[in-house]
Amino acid sequence: MNKIFRLIHLLLFSSKSKKMGFHETSSTFLRVWFNDLDPLMHVNNGVYLSLLDLGRIDFMIKTGMYEKIKKNNLYPVIASEGIKFKRSLKLFQKFEIKTKFSGFDEKYVYLEQSFWSKDKIYAKAIIKSIFLRKEGGKVSSQELKDIIGYSNSFCLEIYIKEFSNSLETAFEKES
């Protein structure tokens, strides 16, 4: 997490935001700064992934998930993520990261995140994460649902699962 000042700001102000449900979309508002840029003067592709961390933290705080996983000594780890870029964010441009819960499978939690500015999409990512115990071990999706109080029987969208499977297949071919 190389965006420490943004993280501190987020932790101070997200907790004061209106609480939201898991199926609502979280909006995290930011601006492009000098340290986000590459030599071509647009946001570096790796920076997008770091900024998505902030969107996920904001989502967890606003849904109340952050306190529940902290209380149970759990933490999320990204298993895989994929991003597609459409436009470039430029210096001082205001933008919004939208974070949306996409579902669970037996082991993983899936989120969709996107970058928006002036009602135009700039990039979209699909995130697959797993939760671990600080003392060691993985947390099943069912146990996580119980901890966070999630009771819906929400189906994982097919394109999310297909995307995740394609990443797994590509990775296995390289092993």
Q: pTM for the whole thing?
A: 0.85
CATH architecture, domain defined by 4-174: Roll (3.10)
CA distances from 140 to 7, 87, 92, 94 (A): 28, 37, 41, 38
Assign 6 to helix, strand or coil.
Answer: helix
Q: What is the residue whose two structure tokens read 């759990």?
A: 74
47-101: per-residue pLDDT in tens?
A: 999 999 999 999 999 999 999 999 999 999 999 998 999 999 999 999 999 999 9
In this structure, the chain runs to a length of 175
The residues spanned by each domain of the chain are: 4-174
103-136: per-residue pLDDT in tens?
A: 888 889 999 999 999 999 999 999 999 999 999 9
